[in-house]
Chains A and B, each alone.
Chain A
Amino acid sequence: EAGVVQSPRYKIIEKKQPVAFWCNPISGHNTLYWYRQNLGQGPELLIRYENEEAVDDSQLPKDRFSAERLKGVDSTLKIQPAELGDSAVYLCASSPQTLFEQFFGPGTRLTVL
């Protein structure tokens, strides 16, 4: 069984530039999560999808972050424009159902210069 796929693995951009991350969850998993993980910290939820519906985006900085999950499968997280403080690892995870175990992708390490 293929795991959660994320791309790119690494991204370096100048501040004020846009950036996008892509996630393909495990087949059949209805719930998809985007997390941000700062160095030495645990993951912090940005947004949770149930199928194609964003059921919790309360922690997503909506002035510069946006996300979509077309057809309830793949998802894209975008930052526009990026700021220095956005440097972090962005993790995608999927789960068969809410509160079940989550399966994480390898993450995208973003560096904003």
Chain B
Amino acid sequence: SQQGEEDPQALSIQEGENATMNCSYKTSINNLQWYRQNSGRGLVHLILIRSNEREKHSGRLRVTLDTSKKSSSLLITASRAADTASYFCATGIYGGSQGNLIFGKGTKLSVKP
């Protein structure tokens, strides 16, 4: 079952521009994580934000979390061609699937040189 839904499904920008991806989810979470997947490769963890945090930074990445709206956003600043990949949000929840991450369908980002 899908917990997170990323928006947009696809995003195409020019190098140097900022890219913003959004994630909405349905149930209460323990944490929310963002992953990147290059074509034909495994996923790489980018950032984890806990349910009691509102914003987190890592290099050119900025993640926000609004638990009242059940939504998160990932901002990539000054994008590069190497940022071209699919980006997934994953929610860590307790309850029926304790300890599991549930992934969304992803946003496909294309950064043109």
Q: Please give the residue numbers on chain A whose beta carbons come within 8 Å of chain B beta carbons, in ascending order.
A: 4, 31, 40-45, 48, 50, 55-56, 58, 91, 93, 98-107, 109
Contacts and interface: CB of A to CB of B under 8 A. Distances in A.
Contacts of B41: 106-107
Nearest to B45: A101
B89 to A, nearest CB: 9
Given A41-B105, A91-B43, A101 B48 contact: yes
Contact of B105 (A42, A48, A93, A109): A42
Given A42-B4, A43-B43, A56-B97, 14 more contacts: A40-B105, A41-B106, A42-B103, A44-B103, A48-B100, A56-B99, A99-B92, A99-B101, A101-B45, A102-B101, A103-B45, A106-B41, A107-B41, A107-B42
Interface string B1-13: 0101000000000
Interface of B: 2, 4, 30-31, 33, 35, 40-45, 48, 88, 90, 92, 97-106
A104 B103 contact: no
Contacts, number: 61
Closest 5 CB pairs of A and B: A42-B103, A98-B99, A104-B42, A101-B45, A99-B92
A101 B33 contact: yes
Contacts of A31: 99
